[in-house]
Structure 1
C-alpha cells in the first residue's frame, strides 16, 4: 500500500538525505550517492582529456568515482560507455597526500623554486605509475625529473612498452588529475604546472593509442594555463564540461532521498514508483520521470514545499524559484549550492515554522538561498580574491546598473590600486607564502575588460538593455540591492 508520507515524515527523510557538510572533500562517493546525470556523459568518455567545472559541480566526485572499480562499472553501464569497463586507472595528482605517486604542494613549491621543468616532473609521475624500475629506485622527485631529462630514450621506451602492453590486453591506461588549485600557492606557478600537465596529456593523446589523461579543472585555471605548445587547441576540441540542468538538480535530490537506508525511503520509492536496482542491491535508481521530467518533478517537489513561494503564483513557483535564484551569470547552479540551500531551508522550517502544512516553508527556502549566497561568495573569494575587491565596492547600490556607473564607482574607490597591491602580496618568495592560491584579472587596469571577465566567470551578466546585473547567488551576500529581490541575511 502506497501510503503518502506525512509532513513530519518528509522532514525526517530530508534530514537523513541532505548532508550537514556539502564539501566534496568530506565524503567519499559510494554506490548510494552515485548519481549519473545525462549531461555528465561526455566528461566520462575516456578520450575527454579536459573536464571543466567550477566549485561544487562534481570534479572531485568523479575523480574519486573513477578510481573506484565498482563505481566505475556502474557509471560505465548507466552511461553506456563500454570502454570505461576496460581501463586501468592511476592517480596523477589529487588532494590526498601520496608522495610515492606524485609530489605534494610543499614539494612542488621547492621543485619550482629549483627550476624543474613542469613537463619533466609530470613525465616522471607518469613513468612512476608505469613502474619504471630506475625511477622506483629514486626517492626524491627532483631526481626522478632529472632522470627523465637525462634519459629521454629510456623514458620514451617505457611509454611505448606500457602502450603496447595496454593495447595487447585491451585496456586503456587512464591517469587522473584533480585539485589543481592546490598545486601551488602562487598562481603564475600553478599555471605553469597546469600547462605541463596539459602538454604531456596532449603528447600521450597524439603519440599513443592506449594512454590517456583526464584533467578535472576549473574553467579559470584552464583559461589561464600556459598552453604555449603545438596543437594545444586540440585539447579544447574534445573538452567536456560538468553542467547541471534544473531537472538534473531535482533528480539528484530525489535520488538522494530514495537511497537513504530507512523505511521512509522505501515508502518514498513506492509512492513515486518505477525505481530499480543496478549491480548492487543497496543502490536504487530513480525512474526517468523522477530524474529528468520537469512536470513530474514539479508535482513531487510541490508535495515537499507547496506550489508557491507565498500565498499565490505571483510570488513565484517553488520548483523554478529555487534554482533560478541560485543560478550564476552563465545560468549554472552547482549541486552543492542547491543541496546546501535545501538543507538550510529544512533547518529553518523545523526551527521557525514547525507547524507549516508542508515539509519546507517558503521563507526557509529564501533563507537557504541567502545562506548559499554567503557560501558561494566565500568560495569565489578564496579562489579569486580580486572578484571580492571588485564587487564589494558595489555594496549599497542597486542592480541592474549602467556599466558607466560601475566603471565610475571603481575609479572613485581606487580599485586598480587595490588590485595592484593584492597582486604584489602573492609573488614568489612573498611572506604570505602560506596563503591560498591567488589569481588576478587579466587586465586589472581596464574596467571594461574587468566587467567582461566577470561576465565570463558568471559573477556578472549583461542585460538586453546593456545594463549590468548580478545574479542573486552573488548579489545577496555582497550586499548589492535589487528592488523586490531576496534581501541579504541579517543577524
Structure 2
C-alpha cells in the first residue's frame, strides 16, 4: 500500500519539531542522528588539512566536537571514505568549554601574555601536555608549565620527537584541535598574536613531524589578520579548506533533519521520499543522493512544502531560490543556522497566521522567517563582535545603497572610534572569563573599518560610484531600508 502524502499541517508539525533545536547548534552535542555531512566539507576533514576557515554558524564547533568523538569520527570516515580518520588520537587544544586540564582559559591567556610569554610557547606547551610530557603533568599552573617548556627546550623537543616516532610506528596521527578562537582575547591585536602562535606551531608540525598535526577552525578574517604577526601563515593556505554551504547542501540538511526526527511523521516522510539508508538500530537515516545533491529534486519536494511562488506569480520569485538569496552575506556565504531559523519561523508563522493554508509554508511567512533570521544573525554579531553592532547602528534609518561619505560622516558624528575604544576596554576589564571578544584591527581608521566590514561580509561595495550596501541578512534587523526590499518586522 502506497504511503499517503503528508498534509500541510503534518509538514508544519514535522518542521517545527525537527528544527526546534537547530538554532542552538553550538550548545547542542553532535550525535549520529544530527551529523549531516555535506560533500563540500570532505576536504576540511582530511587529516592534513590544517586550517578550516568558516564564519559564524557554518559548523566549525560542530565538526570540532564531532572529531573529538570516536564514534562520530567513524561515521565520518565511512561517509567520506577517509580511512585515516580511524587512526587518530584527538585532543582539544582550545575550545568553548573551560578545560583547564587541557588548555589555558581566556583569563589565564591574558595573564600569560601580560607576563611576556610568547604565544608560540603557550601553544607548544599545550601540545606537549596533550602528548603526555611528564614534567608538565606534575605541574598544576599553566604559568609553571609554560616556564618549564621555555627553560627546558631540549627535553621538550626530545619528547615531541619521541611521541612522533611512537605515533609513526603505531600508524596513528596525534591531532590537536582548535576552535572558538574569537574568544581568545578581548584585544584584537592580542587575539591575532595568539592565533599567529597557533599557526606557527601548526606549520612546524606539518613540515617537521610525520604524525603530529593541528587542525585550526578559525574565522576567515582572523586567519587573514594573523598574517600580520606571522608572515609565513600564507604557506598554510595550501593546507586550508573553508567550510562552505551550497544551495543543495542547505536543503539536504533540511531534509536530513526531517528524516531523522523521532516519531511517525518522520517515518512517513522517509517512506514518501524513498531511498533512505537507515542504521540497524534506527539512530541514523541518510537521505538519498537526489535529496542531497540534485536541485531539481530538492526544488520539487520543497514546492510540496512551501508555496510555489513568493506572491501571486513567478515574477515574485520561487521560495527555493528566493529564501537563500535573502540569507546570503556580502561574500556570498549562507549560514545553515540562519537557513534553518528562517524555515522554522516560517512554519510557526504559517501555523498561527494561516492555519488553513494549503501548503506548510505561506510565502508571507517565509518573509517573516528571513526577518527572524536577520534578527538572530545580528544578535550573534552583537555577541561575537560587538564593534560591528556599534558601527552599523548609527546607520539605522538610512536607505541602501548609501554613499560612503555619508557613512563616514555618521560615524564621526557618533564618535565611533571613541566608542570602540571604550568597548574594548570594558571587555578587557571583565571578570567573567567568557566575556572575551575581538575588536576591529583599525578602530581609529574609519575608511579601513569599512574594509573590515566587507571582509566579514556585513557590508559590500557593489556600485561603481562607491555606494555601500548591506545584505538583507544584516540590513533588516539593523533597521536600514531598501526600495522594494523585505521590511523589518514590526511585531
Q: TM-score range by the shorter chain?
A: over 0.9
Name 1:217's counterpart in structure 2. Answer: 218
Name 2:418's counterpart in structure 1. Answer: 420
Name 1:383's counterpart in structure 2. Answer: 384
RMSD across aligned C-alpha pairs, in angstroms? Answer: 2.0
Provide closer, same or farther for how the CA distance between residues 130 and 443 of structure 1 changes in structure 2, counting only shifts above 3 A: closer
TM-score by length of structure 1 reads 0.94
Query: Aligned residue pairs: how many?
Result: 488
- Of 349-358 and 427-436, more deviation after overlay is shown by 427-436
Shift of 1:279: 7.8
Question: What secondary structure sits across from 1:265 in the alignment?
Answer: helix
Alpha-carbon distance in structure 1 between the residues aligned to 2:107 and 2:441: 27
- Of 50-59 and 452-461, more deviation after overlay is shown by 452-461
- Of 53-62 and 182-191, more deviation after overlay is shown by 182-191
Question: What secondary structure sits across from 1:396 in the alignment?
Answer: coil
Runs of 4+ in 1 over 6 A off after TM superposition: none
- Of 435-444 and 236-245, more deviation after overlay is shown by 435-444
Provide closer, same or farther for how the CA distance between residues 106 and 431 of structure 1 changes in structure 2, counting only shifts above 3 A: closer
Shift of 1:432: 4.4
Alpha-carbon distance in structure 1 between the residues aligned to 2:315 and 2:270: 32
Contact 2:191/2:438 (8 A) holds in 1 = no
Provide closer, same or farther for how the CA distance between residues 436 and 97 of structure 1 changes in structure 2, counting only shifts above 3 A: closer
Contact 1:163/1:211 (8 A) holds in 2 = yes
Contact 1:259/1:265 (8 A) holds in 2 = yes
Alpha-carbon distance in structure 1 between the residues aligned to 2:354 and 2:221: 41
Alpha-carbon distance in structure 1 between the residues aligned to 2:224 and 2:249: 26
Name 1:251's counterpart in structure 2. Answer: 252
Contact 1:426/1:432 (8 A) holds in 2 = no
Provide closer, same or farther for how the CA distance between residues 419 and 200 of structure 1 changes in structure 2, counting only shifts above 3 A: same
Alpha-carbon distance in structure 2 between the residues aligned to 1:429 and 1:485: 36
Alpha-carbon distance in structure 2 between the residues aligned to 1:230 and 1:54: 22
Name 1:3's counterpart in structure 2. Answer: 4
Which runs of 5 or more residues in structure 2 are unaligned? none
Correspondence list, 1:286-435, <5 A:
286-411=287-412, 413-414=413-414, 417-427=415-425, 431-432=429-430, 434=432
Contact 1:370/1:488 (8 A) holds in 2 = yes
Alpha-carbon distance in structure 1 between the residues aligned to 2:225 and 2:308: 44
Matched, 1:70 2:71: yes
Name 2:458's counterpart in structure 1. Answer: 459
Matched, 1:485 2:485: yes
Question: What secondary structure sits across from 2:284 in the alignment?
Answer: strand
Correspondence list, 1:272-283, <5 A:
272-277=273-278, 281-283=282-284
Shift of 1:106: 2.6
Name 2:42's counterpart in structure 1. Answer: 41
Question: What secondary structure sits across from 1:398 in the alignment?
Answer: coil
Summarize deviations over 1:2-59 as a string: whole Å, max 9, x none.
Answer: 2111112111211221024612232101111111111111111111111111110000
Contact 1:389/1:419 (8 A) holds in 2 = no
Alpha-carbon distance in structure 1 between the residues aligned to 2:135 and 2:449: 49
Alpha-carbon distance in structure 2 between the residues aligned to 1:279 and 1:231: 48
Shift of 1:288: 1.1
- Of 273-282 and 202-211, more deviation after overlay is shown by 273-282
Contact 1:23/1:56 (8 A) holds in 2 = no
Question: What secondary structure sits across from 2:202 in the alignment?
Answer: helix
Alpha-carbon distance in structure 2 between the residues aligned to 1:174 and 1:195: 18
